[in-house]
């Protein structure tokens, strides 16, 4: 088979009927494979089992805080030190949260709407409207926060080294209602892109019409390398300080995909001024996050060097899965010229682009064949991919055997959707 676009209508029809037979054979197998969310596999979770058996004798802390009791609104000093090392910031620039960084992001946006941020004249919700820039493809749950909180989303194209900065600079310079931007700066979800130094600097420096513009820097995959040559991300908080905008960024991270998602520890980092401002509101919101879990994590993860070792073990488990996906895509699709995909050096996803107008159909066919993928469009604001071409592949959870089947099915579905589209033209 060669480039599908060079085939005649008749040849395409012949090919389609052959694929239909393959598709029926797949359906007859009654598969049930779920590749919709980026979850660690049971083998990855097993790597952190020691977290659950830390002896109660070791549950003592610096500053003689009894972790079994109330206290420590912004987290234990040791947890702050750990995240400060991960995020390359000062301990005084960290707040520890509960079990989910997404929750911290939601709360941060909500507080801004209700009370404004440090440099706001009025709460964001009192403005005529509020807009966020959304580099896309991106993380559906960021977009869901905006949708729920009535924040208008503006799609920004993701380029090879981060979001389209020319477009961003042009927009924020003119529009006072643009209050924020969502960024996944390292091994982005789903493209696997790491922002270049230039992009980091431009985000830190750019002139914004809104005096209270904030960058939501979701560094969820900062230690999630898949190769021996980790991508380097420039320090955004430092870049903001250097640019004279020290309060511009809120950084988020968690141990979700380091230890146990849903039972990990989250953190945010920002300038001391921002941290102080936030803590004054946080003290009303909560008595404080789970210190016992923080301490368990501190004992288990120890320091950045130890985390890097732990993440190497994770990579040993998941790298073969990423390789399996790209090898099958390569052998099944590359000569047909109907799709392209990322080859990430870290993170949790492979981002695949079909021909325009084929993603929805592909995902629908895959579902019919028993393979659940992330909804087409989910990686764009309002669930609407303007070119209907992006599909997020989450290879970590299924076993290698399941994954092989799922990707082979996906390839059949992409071919069918592409032929349908070509026959329409």
The contact set with ligand PMP (CB under 6 A) reads 38, 100-102, 139, 184, 189, 218, 220, 254, 256, 261, 266
Beta pairing, strands 249-254 & 390-393: unpaired
Cα-based torsion angle of the residue sequence 74, 75, 76, 77 in order, rounded to the nearest 10 degrees:
-50
For ligand PMP, give the closer residue by CB, 98 or 116.
98
Burial class (CB in 10 A: 0-12, 13-18, 19+), 118: middle
Output the smallest distance, CB 9 to ligand PMP, in A.
42
CA–CA distances in Å: residue 271 to residues 245, 399, 415: 10, 42, 50
Q: How many CB atoms lie within 10 A of CB 3?
A: 10
User: Tokens 């039972």 belong to which residue?
Assistant: 263
Contacts of 167 (CB under 8 A, 6+ apart): 156, 157
- The CB-of-186 to ligand PMP minimum distance in angstroms stands at 10
The H-or-E segment that residue 321 falls in is helix 304-333
Closest CB to ligand PMP among residues 79, 254: 254
Helix, strand or coil for residue 162? Answer: strand
Distance from C-alpha of 246 to C-alpha of 410, rounded to nearest angstrom: 46
With respect to ligand PMP, which residue has the nearer C-beta, 72 or 100? Answer: 100
Nearer to ligand PMP, 274 or 396 (CB): 396
Q: Which two tokens stand for residue 418?
A: 């592409």
Tell the smallest beta-carbon distance from residue 38 to ligand PMP (Å). 5
Least distance CB 99 / ligand PMP (angstroms): 7
Which helix H or strand E contains 34, and what residues bound it? strand 33-35
Task: Decide whether 47 or 118 has the Cβ nearer to ligand PMP.
Answer: 47
Nearest approach, Cβ of residue 356 and ligand PMP (Å)? 26
Q: Toward ligand PMP, which CB reaches closer, 255 or 271?
A: 255
In this structure, what DSSP letter does residue 374 have? P
Smallest distance, Å, CB 262 to ligand PMP? 7
Residue 59: what are its φ and ψ, rounded to 5°?
A: -85, 55
The token pair at 387 is: 């070119």
Stretch (H or E) spanning 266: strand 266-269
Of the pair 264, 377, the CB lying nearest ligand PMP is at 264
- How far is 354 from 416, CA to CA, in rounded Å? 11
Of the two residues 265 and 365, which places its CB atom closer to ligand PMP in the complex?
265
The answer to whether the beta carbons of residues 42 and 50 sit under 8 Å apart is no
Minimum CB separation from ligand PMP for residue 343, in Å?
A: 19
CB of 188 to ligand PMP, least distance (A): 8
Strands 371-373 and 33-35: parallel
For residue 115, what are the β-bridge partners?
Answer: none
If the CB atoms of residues 72 and 266 are measured against ligand PMP, the closer one turns out to be 266
Partners of residue 249 on adjacent β-strands: 215
d(CA 406, CA 366): 9
* Residue 407 CB, nearest approach to ligand PMP (Å): 21
Residue 105 vs 358, nearer CB to ligand PMP: 105
CB of 260 to ligand PMP, least distance (A): 10
């Amino acid at each position: 088979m060669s480039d599908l676009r060079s085939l005649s209508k008749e040849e395409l029809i012949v090919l389609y009927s052959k694929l239909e037979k393959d598709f029926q054979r797949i359906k007859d197998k009654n598969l049930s494979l779920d590749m919709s969310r980026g979850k660690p596999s049971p083998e990855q979770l097993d790597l952190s089992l020691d977290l659950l058996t830390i002896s109660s004798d070791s549950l003592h802390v610096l500053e003689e805080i009894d972790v079994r009791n109330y206290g420590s609104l912004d987290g234990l000093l040791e947890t702050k030190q750990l995240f400060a090392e991960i995020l390359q910031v000062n301990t005084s620039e960290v707040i520890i949260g509960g079990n989910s960084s997404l929750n911290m992001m939601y709360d941060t946006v909500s507080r801004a709407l209700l009370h404004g941020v440090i440099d706001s004249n009025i709460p964001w919700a009192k403005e005529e409207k509020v807009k966020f820039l959304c580099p896309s493809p991106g993380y559906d749950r960021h977009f869901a926060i905006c949708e729920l909180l009535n924040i208008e989303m503006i799609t920004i194209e993701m380029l090879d080294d981060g979001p389209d900065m020319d477009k961003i600079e042009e927009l924020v310079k003119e529009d006072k209602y643009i209050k924020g931007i969502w960024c996944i700066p390292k091994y982005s979800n789903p493209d696997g892109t790491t922002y270049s130094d230039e992009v980091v600097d431009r985000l830190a420096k750019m002139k914004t019409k809104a005096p209270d513009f904030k960058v939501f820097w979701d560094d969820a995959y900062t230690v999630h390398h898949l190769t021996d040559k980790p991508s380097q991300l420039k320090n955004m908080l430092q870049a903001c300080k250097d640019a004279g905008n020290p309060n511009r960024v809120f950084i988020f991270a968690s141990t979700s995909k380091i230890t146990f998602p849903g039972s990990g520890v989250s953190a945010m980092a920002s300038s001391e001024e921002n941290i102080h401002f936030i803590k004054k509101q946080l003290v009303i919101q909560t008595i404080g996050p789970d210190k016992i879990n923080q301490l368990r994590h501190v004992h288990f993860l120890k320091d950045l060097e130890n985390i890097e070792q732990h993440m190497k073990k994770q990579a040993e488990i998941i790298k073969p899965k990423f390789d399996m996906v790209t090898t099958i895509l390569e052998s099944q699709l590359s000569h047909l010229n109907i799709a392209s995909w990322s080859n990430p050096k870290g993170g949790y996803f492979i981002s695949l682009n079909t021909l325009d107008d084929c993603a929805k159909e592909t995902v629908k066919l895959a579902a019919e064949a028993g393979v659940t993928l992330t909804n087409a469009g989910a990686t764009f604001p309002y669930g609407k991919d303007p070119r209907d071409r992006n599909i997020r592949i989450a290879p970590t959870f299924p076993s290698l055997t399941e994954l092989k089947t799922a990707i082979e099915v996906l390839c059949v579905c992409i071919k069918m959707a592409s032929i349908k589209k070509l026959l329409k033209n």
